[in-house]
A and B are shown apart, each in its own frame.
Chain A
Amino acid sequence: MFIKNTCTIIVCVGCVVAVMVATQAKADMHSANYAIPTDSINFGGGQSSSANYAQNSTFGEVATGRSSSANYALQAGYQQMLGASISISAASNVTLPTLSGLSVGTAVASSSWNVVTDDTAGYQLSIAAATAPALQDPAKAFFSDYVPSGGTTTPDYNFTTPNSTSNFGYSVYSPDATVMWKQNGSACNQTGGTNTLGHCWDGFSTAVQTIAQSSSDNQPTGATTTVTYEAGIGSNKLQDAGTYTATITVTAVAL
């Protein structure tokens, strides 16, 4: 009877230890120069292949599978970690300050997303509008999509609205902003430039546009990207009254 109880206790303790080891494994396997992204406690397995297929297998892993909390996600087990995880925070709808349709003016607002990934290859964040033009009202009146003077790959340093039009654009502020959002004090799309709030403006498109990118993992803090929206009405433009809406989708992809 003593042996039975002892064995039961040993097995259960072993399970708990295995879970704890798996939980701590990721955090423990970094050094200044090296990292072991995945590890496994097992008693067998390895690579096997045929002419058309290959597999990596492990036998005897314990405490495998996925689990998560509010801030973290765990994929325990060697094979689990062959896939990268990425998360993006939720953002609320944004309401721009009211603009008068009868006079010149601009309205600015912003929203932010935090992207966390354990992918050592990094991530890519892109943005797209659901409609063209992006900012429309139900009667199909619209603000024109912002068109930079240098073309869509070179945002304007400052947001401008021609007298006879109304327009709607955005700028990007992020530690991982792509080069087109970097400026040198007067122009954007500058390699080696800096990324600042309120500068470098482009128009939305239904085509996906990459706005931020990194080449390393960033967990657990992630990287926050802020998108600033601006709508303007030119001095000779009479904008139809109504409620205009742009549906914007951001997508984070692990590389």
Chain B
Amino acid sequence: MEDYRFVVVHLIAAFFICVVVCAATAPHAYAATSQSINVNLFVPGCGDGICEANLGENTTTCPQDCGGGATSTPTTTPTTTPTTPMVAGYVSSPSAIGGTIGVLNINNITTQYQGTSVIINWHNPPGSFTGVRIVRSPYGIPTDPLDGQVVYQGSGTYAFDTAGTSGTTYYYTAFSYNQAGTYSSGTVFGVVWPPTHTVTSSHNKHSVPQQQSSSPTKSSPPPASSFPVSSSFPLPVIASTTPVTQSFTSSSTVTATSTEPIALNQILFIQNGQQVTPATINGTLPLTIAIPDSVVSTAVPAGLLRTIITLNILGQNNYYLLRENSTDHALETNIDLSTTPTGGYPFSVEFWPNTGTPFVLSGTLSITRPVAASAGILGIGLTFTNIEQIVGLLLLLALFMLILRFARHG
């Protein structure tokens, strides 16, 4: 009987031991049924945090990657005179006299608040224009198409910018480009980001703020119930440091000085491959304004952080960024004058050296157009647009008078 009980006890004990052993050796090891991975892709270029000399990046072309300081602090950045071309693909056009005109900048940029958004309007240039890329930055003026956030890219003439911090000034540069991927020097403007409260324009003071789509649309023009952001955008860097300014009335009579190491007559005005003067600008032709590399390297050994040309057309300032040309390293911009009426317009060139005091040259750009004459013959209005037509008309009149004379006197 004792043996029987012992056997039963052992059976039960062995069973539980086995169960415990089996349970202990059973780690709940189902393999996971989901796996997540990251697919990574690196796109090099200015703004990637790496100074890539093989892409032409240096302290001038890409200060955010190669050092050289923020673009809004021009006096704190020692660097050398640019000697290498900018990144291939977005340099400007050849500026040498006899060269061909490159991609023209957009102009006539205006900005308006629209609720909590900003509408940007502009005029596209003629010629080899494919589209415009607008980038912005709260830290300074973007100096190349990869510098800053992209606000718009396309062939339209307006865009909405919907994301910003109220009260923050954003600096924008619009780079037009052609089919080959060549970019213009850039047109600069700025916006103090709108407050988030209701628009107070008298046109819609009872309206409710509307949130705009964040993506630019080309489907229809924006509504007009808005008010200007600023009639003339004051470049904020000007306010931080007062530049030396001197105006010149004639480019042929000035020389460089210690405070203005570059003279106005050292700036090249080029149209149709020929050098022209600011007083004889043909409004039907694009205008290239260029500063040769030899002038910059001699006058400003520390190099230029930024150069901007301001052209005031009928009260509206157009700010053109000058950028280095890959061919001859000149600083240049290409300006569309096709919509600019005949007249004299003030312009200024602001130089911001990497070290030292900024300086400004200013003058007047006199834009003329081909001779236009009108004459009325027998009540019919005729317009003559060149001297050959006028001479032809005079000859025709002489012939007519001669015929009359013969008719009277037989």
Chain A interface (Cβ within 8 Å of chain B)?
3-4, 7-8, 11-12, 15, 19, 62-68, 73, 76, 85-96, 98-103, 107, 109, 111, 113, 116, 130, 134-135, 137, 139, 141, 143, 168, 229, 231, 233, 235-236, 238-254
Residues of A near B39 (CB, < 8 A) are 93-96, 109, 111, 134-135, 229, 245-248
Q: Is the CB of B181 within 8 A of A91?
A: no
Q: Is the CB of B15 within 8 A of A11?
A: yes
A203 to B309, CA, bound (A): 46
- In B19-37, the 8 Å CB interface with A consists of 19, 21-23, 25-37
Cβ-defined partner of B130 (8 Å) among A89, A236, A253: A236
Q: Is the CB of A64 within 8 A of B22?
A: yes
A113 to B36, CA, bound (A): 11
Show 19 A/B contacts (Cβ-Cβ < 8 Å), sorted by A.
Answer: A12-B14, A62-B15, A65-B23, A68-B27, A86-B33, A93-B39, A96-B41, A98-B41, A100-B43, A101-B43, A101-B45, A102-B89, A102-B181, A143-B41, A168-B41, A233-B43, A238-B90, A242-B43, A244-B43
Q: Is the CB of B22 within 8 A of A99?
A: no
- The verdict on B38 contacting chain A, using a C-beta distance below 8 Å, is yes
Q: Is the CB of A98 within 8 A of B42?
A: yes
Q: Is the CB of A87 within 8 A of B30?
A: yes
| Residue on A nearest B133 in the bound complex, by CB | A238
Q: Is the CB of B38 within 8 A of A93?
A: yes
Q: Is the CB of B145 within 8 A of A238?
A: yes
The 9 closest A-B pairs by CB, nearest first: A87-B31, A241-B45, A11-B14, A65-B26, A68-B29, A241-B48, A15-B18, A102-B89, A96-B41
| Residue on A nearest B48 in the bound complex, by CB | A241
- The verdict on B229 contacting chain A, using a C-beta distance below 8 Å, is no
Q: Is the CB of A19 within 8 A of B22?
A: yes
A96 to B46, CA, bound (A): 20
Q: Is the CB of B43 within 8 A of A94?
A: no
Residues of A near B179 (CB, < 8 A) are 236
Q: Is the CB of B46 within 8 A of A241?
A: yes
Residues of B near A102 (CB, < 8 A) are 45, 55, 87-90, 181
- The verdict on B6 contacting chain A, using a C-beta distance below 8 Å, is yes
- The verdict on B340 contacting chain A, using a C-beta distance below 8 Å, is no
A240 to B90, CA, bound (A): 13
Residues of A near B45 (CB, < 8 A) are 100-102, 239-241
A229 to B40, CA, bound (A): 10
**How far apart are B5's CB and chain A's nearest CB, in angstroms?**
11
**How far apart are A145's CB and chain B's nearest CB, in angstroms?**
13
Residues of A near B43 (CB, < 8 A) are 98-101, 137, 233, 239-244
Report B43-56 CB contacts with A as 1/0, cut-off 8 Å.
11111100000010
Report B126-138 CB contacts with A as 1/0, cut-off 8 Å.
0000110100000
| Residue on B nearest A115 in the bound complex, by CB | B33
Residues of A near B30 (CB, < 8 A) are 66, 73, 85, 87
Cβ-defined partner of A7 (8 Å) among B10, B29, B87: B10
Residues of A near B31 (CB, < 8 A) are 73, 86-89, 116
Residues of B near A240 (CB, < 8 A) are 43, 45, 47, 146, 150
Residues of B near A67 (CB, < 8 A) are 22, 25-27, 29
- The verdict on B373 contacting chain A, using a C-beta distance below 8 Å, is no
A254 to B34, CA, bound (A): 12
* Additional A-B contacts beyond A67-B27, A73-B29 (15; CB < 8 A): A4-B6, A66-B26, A67-B29, A73-B30, A87-B32, A137-B43, A141-B150, A240-B43, A240-B47, A241-B46, A243-B43, A244-B42, A245-B38, A247-B36, A252-B34
